[in-house]
Amino acid sequence: MAELLLTKYLGQPGREAIDAYLATGGYQAATRALTELAPEGIVEMVEASGLRGRGGAGFPTGRKWKLTPKREGEVRYLVVNADEGEPGTFKDRTLIEGDPHQILEGMLITAFANQVHQAYIYLRGEFFLGYERLRRALRDAYARGYAGKNILGTGFDLEIVIHRGAGAYICGEETALLESLEGRRGFPRLKPPYYPAIRGLYDLPTVLNNAETMAHIPHILRLGPDGYKAYGPPILYSVSGHVTRPGVKELPIGTPLSAIIFEHAGGVRQGRTVKAVFPGGSSSALLTAEHLETPADFEPLAKLGSMLGSSAIIVMDDTACIPAVIRRTVEFYRDESCGKCTPCREGTVWLSQILDRILHGTGRMEDLDLLDGIARNMTGTCFCPLGESVPPSLRASLTYFRDEYVHHVETGACGIAPAAVGGARA
Amino acid sequence: MARALSAGVLGEIGRLRGLYARSQSALLPALHAAQDEVGYLSEGAMQDVADALGLPLSEVTSVATFYSMFFTEPVGRHKIRVCTNLSCYLNGSEPVLDHLCRRLGIRPGETTPDGRVLVEVAECLSACDEAPVLLADADRHGRLTPAAVDELLGRLE
């Protein structure tokens, strides 16, 4: 297997200490960037690498940087989204806890490339361990001159502040994140005009990137765009659910779902079969065992009406009751809806009420069309991606697993044997 | 009027304010600091935060009540947050949550009558590789079983 880039040192204890990071070549890419390269040249390299943002939307990182206006005398910000919360996604937390300097080094390079002097890491409030490790790493970075004033004697300044969230999934949406960073409720902003690159923090141009995206940057500088691409390019899949070896799997992008699930995540329990898969977190449309040869990449998954999203692969074996799984995801979005727009605020409540009724054995056959109709009415009408995340998996489940809904309505009971306590590893 | 927050925390809020171009940006960090000291966000604590950042109390209250990690009523000394999202659900979070609540005699969202433990349902804690997972205060516990829950409860004073 090819050498790992982002996850190579994750198992090493004490990795948040800067000496451990420096001992494996850490901060060499940033040093080269600040002392030998021009900011524009770094932007070109990142664009040539083909790196696409790892927060879920997959926007090309280099192009995003180019879209950020660099006007003389105007303040720009760098904001790193470490508010990971898409169900099934745990790659950012794993990187933050396991190799935080990699993210800080990526930030230093990104700040230099975009000539930014003030950066914020918006860290999910529940990441207590991640906060400790990141704080320790940042303290070391300041002490050794990789953050703060006159970095490496180059005259380049960068202040980095870790800003803890306080429990709100919506703040992972970039404009809601900025509202939260400005000390307000996490309500999303309207796009346009509030594209962060143009009108971000305090209405100023803001480079807003995901935490994993930052971790890719030092490797692009170190290997060059082509050398980096030779690794796949690499991507972190978070694999969980009914697999025997869940975890973060660093693999070339486009690895087929079947290889990820069976070769890298141990497959499902003995005697079980894969029934369904979320390929990109619970916001992505559910797929079935028929789709497992699909490459886990942006376009192939989009062709199936699903998406790569945050590349969180949640596997369900034949003990999973799909209507119950869908109810759990709908309840999540209902609870996390900020309430700003009606389709999301009301739609999620209606959907969960109907799913409750079906699962309690009092559903009606026309409820299936009702679910689909509400989901269709939410599609394209919600203010932000949170509400838009609900219809894909629900509608896919009505297509692929309609018989399970019908069984609940007709018999008032579930036809699936419940999963054993202890789950996949029992 | 007596302050709800100590001079130390008020000083910390002053420091936090200096990290941002606009003082309201320090609101979430300030509320974290206030809650860490008082145990919850009492009206007095929120008033002190409002005064320290030059904000109306209504704005501070509005923000505090939006975020699930802030409490505007007294809650348990220990906070247990059980993830029940997909990967945890698929790996048996419901029996774990049921067992925990039964042992404590409370429902999710409630604090034990002695004020020791609050149990909450958490959304995905981004630790699906360790499902089912919970956070007991700042510590994450994974691959939970009812027996592991018993052991954990025995260690919380």
Residue A420's pLDDT band (cuts 50, 70, 90) = very low
**Which string of b and e fits A229-265 if b means at least 16 CB within 10 Å?**
bebbbbbbbbbbbbbeebbbbbbbbbbbbbbbbbebb
Give A320's contacts in chain B (Cβ within 8 Å): 90
Give B31's contacts in chain A (Cβ within 8 Å): 166
A186, A328, A425 member nearest B86 (Cβ): A328
Distance CA A178, CA A122 (A): 9
Per residue in A196-217, pLDDT tens? Answer: 999 999 999 999 999 999 999 9
B86, B92, B139 member nearest A329 (Cβ): B86
Distance CA A424, CA A274 (A): 12
Would an 8 Å CB–CB cutoff place A183 in contact with chain B?
yes
* Substitution target from B49, B90, B137 for chain A, most A beta carbons within 10 A: B90
Structure tokens, A118: 């003030």
Would an 8 Å CB–CB cutoff place A335 in contact with chain B?
yes
Per residue in A170-198, pLDDT tens? Answer: 999 999 999 999 999 999 999 999 999 99
Contact A161 B85 (CB under 8 A): no
What crossing angle do the helices spanning B43-53 and B7-17 adopt, rounded to 10°? 40
Structure tokens, A356: 């409750």
Instruction: Quote the pLDDT of residue A426.
Output: 36
Would an 8 Å CB–CB cutoff place A125 in contact with chain B?
yes
Contact B126 A421 (CB under 8 A): no
A278, A312, A424 member nearest B91 (Cβ): A424
Contact A423 B95 (CB under 8 A): no
Residue A81's pLDDT band (cuts 50, 70, 90) = very high
SS3 A23: helix
Instruction: Quote the pLDDT of residue A289.
Output: 97
Q: Do domains A18-229 and A322-425 have the same CATH topology?
A: no
Instruction: Quote the pLDDT of residue A48.
Output: 98
Contact B28 A423 (CB under 8 A): no
Residue A418's pLDDT band (cuts 50, 70, 90) = low
Q: Which residues contact B3 (CB under 8 A, 6 or more apart)?
A: B10, B44, B48
Which residue do the tokens 């929120």 mark? B46
What φ, ψ does residue A38 adopt, rounded to 5°?
A: -90, 145
Instruction: Quote the pLDDT of residue A415.
Output: 86
Q: Is the pLDDT of residue B18 over 90?
A: yes
What crossing angle do the helices spanning A100-113 and A39-49 adopt, rounded to 10°? 120
Min Cα distance A10 → chain B (Å) is 14
3-state secondary structure chain B: CCCCCCHHHHHHHHHHHCCCCCHHHHHHHHHHHHHHHHCCCCHHHHHHHHHHHCCCHHHHHHHHCCCCCCCCCCCCCEEEEEECCHHHHHCCHHHHHHHHHHHHCCCCCCECCCCCEEEEEECCCCCHHHCCCEEECCEEECCCCHHHHHHHHHHCC
Per residue in B98-120, pLDDT tens? Answer: 999 999 999 999 999 999 999 99
Distance CA A163, CA A81 (A): 10
Distance CA B43, CA A22 (A): 47
Distance CA A168, CA A124 (A): 9
Residue B2's pLDDT band (cuts 50, 70, 90) = confident
Instruction: Quote the pLDDT of residue A422.
Output: 41
Would an 8 Å CB–CB cutoff place A266 in contact with chain B?
no
Instruction: Quote the pLDDT of residue A141.
Output: 98
Q: Is the pLDDT of residue A423 over 80?
A: no
Counting beta carbons within 10 angstroms of the beta carbon of residue A110, is it exposed (0 to 12), middle (13 to 18) or buried (19 or more)?
A: buried
Could you say which DSSP state residue A84 is in? Answer: -
Residue-range domain boundaries for chain B: 7-64, 78-155
Instruction: Quote the pLDDT of residue A3.
Output: 87
CB pairs under 8 A between A and B: 160
Structure tokens, A386: 């949170």
**Which string of b and e fits B52-79 if b means at least 16 CB within 10 Å?**
bbebeeebbbebbebbbbbbeeebbbbb
> Are the C-beta atoms of residues A329 and A322 closer than 8 Å to each other?
no
Domain B78-155 matching CATH 3.40.630.30: the answer reads no
Cβ neighbour number for residue A398 with a 10 Å cutoff: 20
Q: Do β-strands A206-210 and A247-252 pair in parallel, antiparallel, or remain unpaired?
A: unpaired
Would an 8 Å CB–CB cutoff place A333 in contact with chain B?
no
Min Cα distance B130 → chain A (Å) is 8
Min Cα distance B136 → chain A (Å) is 11
Residue-range domain boundaries for chain A: 18-229, 239-317, 322-425
Cβ neighbour number for residue A11 with a 10 Å cutoff: 9
Q: Is the pLDDT of residue A424 over 60?
A: no
Select the more confidently predicted residue: B89 or A2.
Answer: B89
Residue A417's pLDDT band (cuts 50, 70, 90) = low
Per residue in A52-66, pLDDT tens? Answer: 999 999 999 999 999
* Substitution target from B28, B83, B140 for chain A, most A beta carbons within 10 A: B28
Distance CA A390, CA A283 (A): 6
Calculate ∠ Cα A285-A289-A291, nearest 5°: 60
Q: Which CATH class is domain A322-425?
A: mainly alpha
Per residue in A22-76, pLDDT tens? Answer: 999 999 999 999 999 999 999 999 999 999 999 999 999 999 999 999 999 999 9
> Are the C-beta atoms of residues A64 and A191 closer than 8 Å to each other?
no
Name the architecture of domain A18-229. 3-Layer(aba) Sandwich (3.40)
What φ, ψ does residue B109 adopt, rounded to 5°?
A: 95, -10
Q: Which CATH class is domain A239-317?
A: alpha beta
Give B62's contacts in chain A (Cβ within 8 Å): 185
Residue B7's identity, in one-letter code, is A
B90, B135, B140 member nearest A241 (Cβ): B90
Per residue in A277-328, pLDDT tens? Answer: 999 999 999 999 999 999 999 999 999 999 999 999 999 999 999 999 999 9
Give A423's contacts in chain B (Cβ within 8 Å): 90-92, 131-132
Contact A240 B87 (CB under 8 A): yes
State ipTM.
0.98
